[in-house]
Amino acid sequence: MLTDLPAWAVAAVIALGGLSVAAGIAVFVVDSMARATFALLTSFLAVAGILVALQLPYLAFVTALMMTIEMALMAVFMIMFMMNPAGLMPMTMVHNARGSAVLGAGAFVLLTVGIWTMDWPTRNGAVPADSTRQLGEAIMGSHMLVMLVIGVALFATIIAGTVLATARGRYDRFGAELDAARPDDPVPGGLPR
Q: For residues 88 and 109, which CB has a smaller minimum distance to other proteins in the complex?
A: 88
Cα→Cα distances 64→12, 25, 67, 127, 147, Å: 17, 19, 5, 23, 20
18 scored as a contact of other proteins (CB under 8 A) = no
In the list 31, 130, 137, 184, the residue contacting other proteins (rule: CB under 8 A) is: 130
In the list 13, 27, 68, 120, the residue contacting other proteins (rule: CB under 8 A) is: 68
In the list 133, 143, 168, 173, the residue contacting other proteins (rule: CB under 8 A) is: 133
Under the phi-then-psi rule, with left for phi > 0, alpha for psi from -120 to 50, and beta for the rest, what region is 188?
beta
71 scored as a contact of other proteins (CB under 8 A) = yes
191 scored as a contact of other proteins (CB under 8 A) = yes
In the list 15, 19, 22, 35, the residue contacting other proteins (rule: CB under 8 A) is: 35
Cα→Cα distances 44→64, 72, 86, 119, 174, Å: 7, 13, 25, 28, 43
- Selection from 58, 53, 55, 51 nearest residue 139 by Cα: 58
Q: For residues 37 and 109, which CB has a smaller minimum distance to other proteins in the complex?
A: 37
Q: Tell me how far apart the alpha carbons of residues 66 and 45 are, in angstroms, rounded to a whole number.
A: 10
52 scored as a contact of other proteins (CB under 8 A) = yes
Q: Tell me how far apart the alpha carbons of residues 162 and 99 are, in angstroms, rounded to a whole number.
A: 32
Give the footprint of other proteins on this chain (CB under 8 A). 6, 9, 32, 34-35, 38, 41, 45, 52-53, 55, 57-58, 60-62, 64-66, 68-69, 71-73, 75-76, 86, 88, 127, 129-133, 187-191
